[in-house]
Amino acid sequence: MTKQQGRACNSDFKPASGLSNPHLQTLWPFLFRHQPRMALRRERLELADGDFIDLDWYVPPVAVNTKGLCILLHGLEGDSQSHYIPALMQKLAMQGWRTLLMHFRGCGGEHNRLARGYHSGDTADFNEVLMQLLQREQPSRTAAIGFSLGGNVLLKYLGEQGSQTSLNAAVAVSVPFELAAGADRLACGFSRIYQWWLIRSLQRKLYDKFSRHLSAGECPLPLRELKQQKTFYQFDNTITAPLHGFADVHDYYTQSSSRQYLPDIRCSTLILHALDDPFLSPIAIPADSELSTSTRLEISTHGGHVGFVGGTFRQPEYWLDSRICQYLAD
């Protein structure tokens, strides 16, 4: 699978008239995108540490000639119903890909067994799932697509693996390349709404997990103090870092950010990002000199966070689906 040489370039994305605002781009598909009805088959993979990962396989209504396996990785607190997943799975299947969504630990609708969960730099779980699937499925070729947190995991994984990766192609969308910069951006202005919504979701999940399914003593701080963690810096310092073996939030952000791994990527990779992404300041977007020759970074002026809504206000078009499918078809 031959791709373009590594470089940063301008995207051809054009926002729908009236929807160029970054928050409208971000929220429109989340609130208004029609989700196609689709059949999914749930599979549970057991992990070596005694935990599990839930996979959702797309079951197309008509059998297609498959040419490979495509794994999708969702964003923070996402799942197979996230607005960027269902239609893309269908379109990839029409291209001949067997598609599945890998849920990070605890994101498939059921709490995972261990106290630890998932985080932005957790490449070990993806690697373990990928190795199991490759051994069992023996696909002709393999691709992966990561969104937001899932995109950071994917890029970090590709950099860690270098030329040893088993993936033939990859796409990463709206990646928080520098986690500290992302935490800073989400603590400012209207972006604090996204921070509040995501942290509230994490708090509710953790409270239920440690109060009903595990011992409250396994939580890094008293459950009554969960709601006091109102920013990502606070939450990641008191919860994410200690649960996953990091010294503190700074250690977690430093080790888990994908930007430092970009030069070592050897898999054909497309990165899609918008300058107005409300989850990340433009200063954290990698420069051309940071990209390997296997990587193409397409930057658009507008697009928000996993938005990229084109077309018209009355007839929106979801550009991400077509661009990703085009890339994987080349």
Q: Are strands 309-311 and 295-300 parallel, antiparallel or unpaired?
A: unpaired
Q: What is the pLDDT of residues 99-155, one digit of tens each?
A: 999 999 999 999 999 999 999 999 999 999 999 999 999 999 999 999 999 999 999
Return d(Cα 178, Cα 76) in angstroms, integer. Answer: 15
Return d(Cα 36, Cα 39) in angstroms, integer. Answer: 10
CA of 133: how far to CAs of 53, 107, 118, 169, 186, in Å?
A: 12, 20, 20, 16, 35
Q: Please give the average per-residue pLDDT across 242-254, as a whole number.
A: 98
Return d(Cα 325, Cα 318) in angstroms, integer. Answer: 12
pLDDT on residue 2: 40
pLDDT on residue 3: 45
CB 177 within 8 A of CB 185: no
Q: What is the pLDDT of residues 287-311, one digit of tens each?
A: 999 999 999 999 999 999 999 999 9
pTM for the whole structure: 0.96
Q: What is the pLDDT of residues 73-94, one digit of tens each?
A: 999 999 999 999 999 999 999 9
Residue for token pair 């995972």:
112
As annotated, the active-site residues are 148, 277, 305
Structure tokens at 31: 């609130």
Residue for token pair 């997990």:
209
